[in-house]
Chains A and B, each alone.
Chain A
Amino acid sequence: MASRKPPRSGVRAARASDGAPAAAPREAITVGSVGIRRHAPRLKVTLFTGVVLGLLALVGFAGWREASRGVPTASARPSLPAPRPAPSPAEEAYAHSLWPIHNEVKAAALKMTFGGLNYKLHEIDRAGFRDRVESARAVYRRAAARIELLAPPASLVGLHDEYVQAVRLYQEAAGEMVRVLDDGKEDHLATAFPKSQEAGTKLLRVGQVLWPGEYVPN
């Protein structure tokens, strides 16, 4: 039998030597590229490994994202200003003693302001105006007397003086306001107003130190 050249790439051996169709040798089967069958298992493994690695990378990334975001817990707090130093027992006692006086002064200041406001708006008459302002003056007098009896610690002397000045300013404002009843001139309300404002600023300043929780977000 004559020797046969090995089949060219892409050419299947048509017949076996006895004429029957021959199964093409695996090595000989190509479809436009060389040796796919031989390399097919390796390619599948590579692809599979790549997919698995990709998924693992995705899971790892997701886990890192979760960890870096930080799950809120009961103990997690946003960054807030450093807490104030705790007051000394003497400072606490002073703040505790001044608090009820402060509440009365504050309420009186508000009522006095409403007296002026409602008088200006003609919502109340002269008698109603007098009642409001005079009752506020009485509160300021009593407060001034009680504050004089307080003994602030050395660290709070400045604050104490500021509070005393606030009450005095409120007294002066009230005194100016009632002059409206003497001459009927509403200008006295405008003259009294800056004293009331300054007193309110002092109350706030003292309150910020002694009672930091006095005003909350509204």
Chain B
Amino acid sequence: MRYLVRGLTLVVLAALTVSLAVPTAPAQSSVPEYSVWLVRSSVFKGVPAGAFMPDRAFIPGSTNPMNSQVFFDLPVNVGVIKSPDGKEIILYDTGWKQQDYLKMTGSINWAPLPDQLALLGIKADDVTKIVIGHGHWDHAGQLSDFPNAVLYVQREELRGIEWALSYPFPAIKAVNTDKGGCNRTPACGYPPLTLDQIYGKVLAGKAMIVDGMMEVLPGVIIHPAHRAHTAGSQLLEVNTAVGKLVFGSDAYSSWEGIRDWMTANVQQTDTVQQFLAYEKCYKITGGYQNCVSAHEPLSYSDKYPLTKNWWVGPNDSRLAEIALAPGEKTRKP
């Protein structure tokens, strides 16, 4: 009897030890994994390097590779996010469409966003949500092409623009201080036609005015990045099979800037806030690889690995497949 008891005790102890030692299988994640593509809406040609990134201004005769480039060609990148069940299509930024802007800015390879989405099997009417990183004319310009989409914009963005317009000192409230350029005044970059795009969504009852952080969908989260580019800039975190991505619009104008800790595309930018926005990507994703940039010149190449899976779209535009939800088929030809 004594031996039986001892034997049973040993068995129980052994079982307890094993159950504690063997790691349990991780609980299955309940956060959906989204499909993500990046679309190049157009290209700004020949932007002086120093105008884009002050620390990379061209220096004649310099042997520093950071100062050897005279101009950048900047893509205008739009994020396309699709839920696993296909019912939610989210755009992050929407470029712009007025041809007059193209003529003004020397842009090339513009294609209508609905035509580009068609290559991903998406119709304009299917888009359910649009999150604009900020309200500048080249990021909030095709909202009216997506009539069913609810616009998400930070209240702080709208307040910032109106504050600037109402400021008593002329040089600060001016939309343009110089007809030759924008000169980065506080109200610069918001032409009437672009603000009307936002206003149109408000009038249609299809606008969500965001105060800070907000979960748009499970696994899709808005993070404020106020003054990282404009007064009410916002980032978008998206859960995918390749890890979390963070879209940053112009707070993340340059992916190399995020990697090398350089400011980029200084507009109404507080560079400290921009660096804190970079940090946010590092914290959310574990590094800089999954930070999605709006204007990175290396986009759609192996040098920006997130976008290496690319192909050509209408008018020599570009699309890149970043991640696929379970069951989603590739759209790359």
Contacts and interface: CB of A to CB of B under 8 A. Distances in A.
What does DSSP make chain A's interface, helix, strand, loop or mixed? helix
B104 A80 contact: no
B280 to A, nearest CB: 22
A174 B139 CA distance: 27
Nearest to B230: A218
Nearest to B188: A218
B199 A208 contact: no
B179 A95 contact: yes
A111 B166 CA distance: 8
Contacts of B91: none
Interface string B30-72: 0000000000000011110000000000101000000011110
Nearest to B207: A121
A193 B196 contact: yes
Interface residues of B, number: 56
A214 B104 contact: yes
B165 A204 contact: no
Nearest to B209: A121
A103 B188 CA distance: 12
A113 B175 contact: no
Nearest to B173: A107
Nearest to B49: A72
Interface in B129-168: 136-139, 158, 161-162, 165-166
Nearest to A193: B203
B202 interface: yes
Interface stretch (B82-90, B95-103, B236-244): B95-103
A110 B182 contact: no
Interface stretch (A17-25, A46-54, A194-202): A194-202
Given A73-B70, A218-B188, A212 B104 contact: yes
Interface string B165-179: 110000001111011
Interface of A: 72-74, 76-81, 95, 99, 103, 106-107, 109-111, 113-114, 116-118, 120-121, 189-190, 193, 196-197, 199-201, 203-205, 207-208, 211-218
5 contacts: A103-B175, A211-B179, A212-B103, A217-B47, A218-B189
7 shortest A-B CB distances, which residue pairs? A200-B193, A208-B100, A218-B136, A200-B192, A218-B189, A109-B192, A213-B180
